[in-house]
Amino acid sequence: MSTPHYIGRFAPSPSGPLHFGSLIAALGSYLRAHSQQGQWLVRIEDIDPPREIIGASDDILRTLDAYGLHWHGSVLYQQQRYDAYQQQIDELIRHDQAYFCQCTRKIIQAHGGIYDGRCGLRQPRLTQGAIRIRNQANADNFNDLVQGEVTVDKRFAAEDFIIKRSDGLYAYQLAVVLDDAYQGITEVVRGCDLLEASCRQISLFSLLGLDAPQWLHLPLACAQKGFKLSKQNHAPAIDTKQPQASINAALSFLGQPEVDVDAVEVMLQQAVAQFSLDRIPKHKEIVLAATNLAT
């Protein structure tokens, strides 16, 4: 059955061009949203300037257009949301639901690798450093529409995690939760590299009194076991001149029937019509054949 008010999204970071792994996430989220007669939004997650490449945001949007993956409404850039992030952090600190921390990775590693909340107990309170949420929600499991029941280490789930970094940059966990709530996202479709992060986001939704979306994590495309295609690993950009082959390769990866049509818009219409959630492989990663790596 369709969901009348379904809102999904594709949220790439502008750290390089879209590659085949990115296309799987974009196409999977697009097909799911349109199969539910819902909206498909695009958000550029540009909160980490040191990792970003000049011009990458525009290149990503041009690539989506070339693939017929047209989004609803305006693109949301996370840099437009800094005031909202800071306002939420200020409120959390004011109510002692967040605190400053100056523990380094070396200190945390020396105490077992999981942060133990020590800075949250200090008196007087620190006024500089990273900012951590008092994680009283401790979400350690959730149901994923593809992966089934997902459970993470309870120590990881209970950790007071960072919501603003010591270098002044806003942490992904805070930004993604506030933006998903702001945009009314009802279901998050993305890769399995963010399975564990979902538990932290569920905790944050709960701590902020926000409704969490449903979760649907797609298998990761890997060059070899444990080595996913990524911009950081210099995965090749997908072809924007002849996107049909890449679209069909992504459909096949997602367990969907390929489409023998030349026009990408018609390809996508047919792909939406035959999309089935049950066909998506229930794997966390899939190793690609060498011939597919350049797709």
- Interatomic CA distance for residues 21 and 253, integer angstroms: 10
Q: Do residues 74 and 14 both lie within one domain?
A: yes
| Domain contains 225 | yes
Looking at the predicted structure, is the pLDDT value of residue 233 above 80? no
Q: Do residues 190 and 248 both lie within one domain?
A: yes
One-letter amino acid of 142: F
Q: How many domains, in total, are found in the chain?
A: 2
Q: What was the pLDDT predicted at 41?
A: 98
Q: What was the pLDDT predicted at 81?
A: 98
Mean pLDDT of the chain: 93
Looking at the predicted structure, is the pLDDT value of residue 235 above 80? no
3-state class percentages of the chain: helix first, strand second, coil last, to nearest 5 = 40, 20, 45
Q: Does an H or E element contain 244, and which?
A: helix 244-253
Contact 169, 192 (CB under 8 A): no
* Three-state DSSP state, 82: helix
Confidence of residue 3 (pLDDT cuts 50, 70, 90): very low
Q: What was the pLDDT predicted at 223?
A: 78
Strands (E), the chain: 7-10, 39-44, 76-77, 98-101, 130-133, 141-144, 148-151, 162-164, 187-191, 214-218, 220-224, 227-228, 285-287
Q: Do residues 165 and 200 both lie within one domain?
A: no
Q: Do residues 72 and 103 both lie within one domain?
A: no
Residue 51 marked ligand-binding: no
Residue 172 marked ligand-binding: yes
Task: Give the residue from 122, 144, 172 where a domain finishes.
Answer: 172
The parent domain of residue 223 ranges over 7-79+186-292
Contacts 24+ apart (CB under 8 A), 148-156: 148/282, 150/195, 150/198, 150/199, 150/215, 150/217, 152/195, 152/196, 152/199, 155/114, 156/114, 156/196, 156/199
Confidence of residue 169 (pLDDT cuts 50, 70, 90): very high
Query: From the CB of residue 274, how many other CB atoms can be counted at a distance below 10 Å?
Result: 14
Q: Do residues 210 and 190 both lie within one domain?
A: yes
- Interatomic CA distance for residues 255 and 208, integer angstroms: 37
Confidence of residue 294 (pLDDT cuts 50, 70, 90): very low
Task: Give the residue from 122, 150, 172 where a domain finishes.
Answer: 172
Q: Do residues 286 and 208 both lie within one domain?
A: yes
| Domain contains 181 | no
Q: Do residues 203 and 276 both lie within one domain?
A: yes
Burial of 278 (0-12, 13-18, 19+ CB in 10 A): exposed
Query: From the CB of residue 245, how many other CB atoms can be counted at a distance below 10 Å?
Result: 12
Write the pLDDT tens digit of every residue in 239-271. 999 999 999 999 999 999 999 998 999 999 999
Q: What was the pLDDT predicted at 291?
A: 42
Mean local confidence (pLDDT), 73-96: 98
Mean local confidence (pLDDT), 20-40: 97
Q: What was the pLDDT predicted at 142?
A: 98
Residue 161 marked ligand-binding: no
Share of the chain above pLDDT 90, in %: 89
| Domain contains 178 | no
Residue 182 marked ligand-binding: no
Q: Do residues 67 and 209 both lie within one domain?
A: yes
> What's the predicted TM-score (pTM) here?
0.93
Looking at the predicted structure, is the pLDDT value of residue 1 above 50? no
CATH number for 21: 3.40.50.620
Residue 99 marked ligand-binding: no
Residue 196 marked ligand-binding: no
Residue 103 marked ligand-binding: yes
Mean local confidence (pLDDT), 75-95: 98
Q: What are the CA-CA distances from residue 17 to residues 166, 170, 223, 231, 243 (Å)?
A: 28, 23, 17, 7, 14
- Interatomic CA distance for residues 95 and 90, integer angstroms: 9
| Domain contains 41 | yes
Write the pLDDT tens digit of every residue in 116-149. 999 999 999 999 999 999 999 999 999 999 999 9
Residue 190 marked ligand-binding: yes
Q: Do residues 197 and 275 both lie within one domain?
A: yes
Q: What was the pLDDT predicted at 224?
A: 74
Q: Do residues 270 and 202 both lie within one domain?
A: yes
Q: What was the pLDDT predicted at 228?
A: 73
Q: Both tokens of residue 273?
A: 């019509």
| Domain contains 180 | no
Residue 101 marked ligand-binding: yes
Who wins on pLDDT, 241 or 295? 241
- Interatomic CA distance for residues 68 and 269, integer angstroms: 10
Q: Do residues 106 and 50 both lie within one domain?
A: no
* Three-state DSSP state, 194: helix
Give Cβ neighbours of residue 294 (< 8 Å, ≥ 6 apart): 236
